[in-house]
Structure 1
């Protein structure tokens, strides 16, 4: 079971049990055939007992930031104090992490997004038994890590949706997740990232939180080689944390792995430069000269096409001075960012024309990106962030 979080770091919001209250029954009782059958059914064959409570917590990246990570912890009833459970938990060095939607469950309605808390079914009928086997037979610690951008843990004053809608979505998700956890019937946690911050996959915030919650320290307490992540996002999360990735089809249906090539590999943009390969970015050649930049968003976002650049060439010619150009990181930056959205890159690329000497420049120097940092910083730069 997860260790106690550090109270100085996290914000807690323990919910009351979300299971519905027991129905009031009449004095007279009717015994159904299903009840009789259940009485004689072996305990091992009965479905898991619904939870008495799922403990929900909210966590924030730091003390000055609103909560954006929702964590639900489930322990089967009458199992939390079991010596066998405690011993088993202490020995678990392998983590089996799963995405939630389109991996463990899908909508019953067939819609892309669930219409309510009951609109779900297992992604495949084999899912529950496979997860129970991972926990009981193979010694895995089973967790769910999921991006849930449609949820909000705090009121957004700029949001157009009413507060009631935010609360309804959050309650519906908790109800659905609690039902899933109770049907699985094994000790496990679900982590849901609701913001676009360090917790959101493929960033590693949720992974680090679960390791801290379970008091797992790398490398001694974690078997990275045999830990796995199952999801449908191209394996970027698994690549960032260094564990094996499987698609749901590969893991649950035993389909052969599909060959794929990522269109963007961060490490490809961190080449090792020798001193001789680093270009001389700027050395003054003339008593007076004009130097202009040409670069995409994130580097410059100016002078994309010849029409714009011609204005500077004309100005330099009017004053009879040389004009030079520095092309910043001429390979288009492929990533999308919150501060610089994908549309900004797309618009720049659509009007970009490669600079040419014939436009009137004395010279053109291409200034490629050069990473400057230690190995730990290089490892961070090599991760997927979106």
Structure 2
């Protein structure tokens, strides 16, 4: 007897699909399945039936996850499916049952349990719950709207009535993604200057909520942190937006510039560790949607470039699938959209060995040159330590003025010490103070030029802010000013030698290293 294999739609929306023996069949969004959902790829799953073993080899191919009996499958993984298993072409959607005709030898269909309504002694054995079902069974809906303040106002969290924790998260940016201004201006003129961005927003959010996703918003809101907007007024705006969307949503507002501000992962860390009822988030099944994707000018006719890359870089930091609003709400492709790349990619940074040439056998004045945050202070400490404290650092950030630094350097040189000058020294004028001092005291003067780029130095500055290191935060204006003033140092200025020094980071622990290797800048 020849056995056949079919994939039968649970809703009978189309005829059973024949799976010939040992032939790969690829299914997805097409006329055979009658699936029109743009979230489903045309090549969503691969199926190959073995009618002799009564098994089907299943491989998920689509960008969005497929499912098997309610569980998400890993893209490009390989799974063995048996008679009666439920294949979800999209996780929790478009459910089909694998059926062999005739069924496998020894297979017995589940028998309905006959029960005498008057006989309470007959009990139906409960189905054993999966781990995920057991976790979620105890999750309670939020009974009312509530607000929380975290880290003295660094983050505010709004939880709407009806929000339930989940292992699947649908995360969205707010401005430019879910809402836009009524005025047509880039930034809202007041807390009432908003409207839902497109009609499809509420419908799509509701679909995801019905699929078991927890809907969250992650939004940078520095105007609250700098006092331009009162938090009590902004709370009314958030409550109005959630009410208009008519979907239970949990909203996270980052008001500062530290670990919570996108693209840093602080808001997501709060969600996953404290605000999801201890349910582990399935990152492969979750996603993030935002408009700050680094798209270049005219990425679509007449469109301006994106204001930043904060949203797409947050997704990269977390390993989440990312969608632009046009992708998620309209099913558009970004395959041909021109995208910017970050100016600094921290994962590409390599550790550099200490340059022994920085330490001289004779007494000298060593002048450091580089952006704030370029690694000058770290280098100065390394030189002090490796020289056995034959070098001593004079730092403008500590002493306050270059005159005080010069006086201290003169004293140390007269005592027989070598001196490291830790200040930015961007131009020939600032460096001439030190070459002149060296001439007066008849000691050689060398220059150590930090090769750290502006973007790299800004990344280091951001890292120091996040880790709450003992450094004064440096504004972007200071970085721009240094770049405009900068003149490449040469031996013609009176230096005996100019040494190029590459930045080499050191970390107190693994957590610090992990954060450093993330994208911390918004562009």
Structure 1 stretches of 4+ with a deviation exceeding 4 A read 115-118
- Given the alignment, which residue of 174, 194, 199 partners 2:260? 199
Q: Is the 8 A contact 1:326 1:367 kept in 2?
A: yes
Q: For 1:206-245, list aligned pairs within 5 A.
A: 206-211=267-272, 212-216=274-278, 221-233=280-292, 234=309, 235-245=312-322
Q: Distance in 1 between matches of 2:241 and 2:433?
A: 63
Instruction: Point out the more displaced range, 97-106 or 225-234.
Output: 225-234
- Given the alignment, which residue of 55, 59, 64 partners 2:150? 59
Q: Please report how far the alpha carbon of residue 379 of structure 1 lies from its aligned counterpart in structure 2 after TM superposition.
A: 1.7
Q: Distance in 2 between matches of 1:195 and 1:94?
A: 27
Give the match for residue 6 of structure 1.
Answer: none
Q: For 1:276-295, list aligned pairs within 5 A.
A: 277-280=353-356, 282-286=358-362, 288-295=363-370
Q: For 1:9-88, list aligned pairs within 5 A.
A: 53-60=144-151, 66-76=152-162
- Given the alignment, which residue of 317, 320, 327 partners 1:250? 327
C-alpha change, 1:134 and 1:353, in structure 2 (3 Å) is same
Q: Is the 8 A contact 1:59 1:67 kept in 2?
A: yes
Give the match for residue 243 of structure 2.
Answer: 182
Give the match for residue 469 of structure 2.
Answer: none
Q: Distance in 2 between matches of 1:197 and 1:313?
A: 39
> Within the alignment, does 1:146 sit opposite 2:146 as a pair?
no
Q: Distance in 2 between matches of 1:330 and 1:198?
A: 23
Q: Is the 8 A contact 2:371 2:457 kept in 1?
A: no
Give the match for residue 520 of structure 2.
Answer: 385
- Given the alignment, which residue of 341, 353, 359 partners 2:487? 353
Structure of larger gyration radius = 2
Which digits, 9 at most, give the CA deviation of each residue in 1:277-301, with x for residues without a partner? 5421522232x32222112112354
C-alpha change, 1:345 and 1:206, in structure 2 (3 Å) is same
Q: Please report how far the alpha carbon of residue 116 of structure 1 lies from its aligned counterpart in structure 2 after TM superposition.
A: 4.9
SS of the aligned residue for 1:58 comes to: strand
Structure with more strand by fraction: 2
C-alpha change, 1:132 and 1:364, in structure 2 (3 Å) is same
Q: Please report how far the alpha carbon of residue 266 of structure 1 lies from its aligned counterpart in structure 2 after TM superposition.
A: 3.7
C-alpha change, 1:379 and 1:350, in structure 2 (3 Å) is same
SS of the aligned residue for 1:97 comes to: strand
TM-score (norm: length of structure 2): 0.52
Give the match for residue 312 of structure 1.
Answer: 434
Q: Please report how far the alpha carbon of residue 113 of structure 1 lies from its aligned counterpart in structure 2 after TM superposition.
A: 3.6
Unaligned residue ranges in structure 1 (runs of 5+): 1-50, 61-65, 81-88
Give the match for residue 135 of structure 1.
Answer: 209
SS of the aligned residue for 2:327 comes to: helix
Q: Please report how far the alpha carbon of residue 370 of structure 1 lies from its aligned counterpart in structure 2 after TM superposition.
A: 0.6
SS of the aligned residue for 2:315 comes to: helix
Q: Distance in 1 between matches of 2:478 and 2:361?
A: 34
SS of the aligned residue for 1:150 comes to: helix
Q: Please report how far the alpha carbon of residue 239 of structure 1 lies from its aligned counterpart in structure 2 after TM superposition.
A: 1.8
SS of the aligned residue for 1:151 comes to: helix
Q: Distance in 2 between matches of 1:245 and 1:334?
A: 27
**Of the two structures, which has the highest relative contact order with CA contacts closer than 8 Å and spacing of 6 or more?**
1
Q: Distance in 2 between matches of 1:131 and 1:73?
A: 16
SS of the aligned residue for 1:385 comes to: coil
- Given the alignment, which residue of 107, 111, 123 partners 2:185? 111
Q: Distance in 1 between matches of 2:190 and 2:435?
A: 61
Q: Is the 8 A contact 2:372 2:474 kept in 1?
A: yes
Unaligned residue ranges in structure 2 (runs of 5+): 1-141, 293-308, 377-421, 466-472
SS of the aligned residue for 1:232 comes to: coil
Which digits, 9 at most, give the CA deviation of each residue in 1:51-86, with x for residues without a partner? 9952222222xxxxx23322111124xxx8xxxxxx
Which digits, 9 at most, give the CA deviation of each residue in 1:283-320, with x for residues without a partner? 2232x322221121123543212233233223323333
Give the match for residue 173 of structure 1.
Answer: 234
C-alpha change, 1:334 and 1:124, in structure 2 (3 Å) is farther
SS of the aligned residue for 2:481 comes to: helix
TM-score (norm: length of structure 1): 0.69
Q: Please report how far the alpha carbon of residue 375 of structure 1 lies from its aligned counterpart in structure 2 after TM superposition.
A: 4.8
Q: Is the 8 A contact 1:264 1:334 kept in 2?
A: no
Q: Distance in 2 between matches of 1:189 and 1:292?
A: 52
Q: Is the 8 A contact 1:266 1:381 kept in 2?
A: no
Q: Distance in 2 between matches of 1:357 and 1:199?
A: 45
Q: Distance in 1 between matches of 2:143 and 2:285?
A: 33
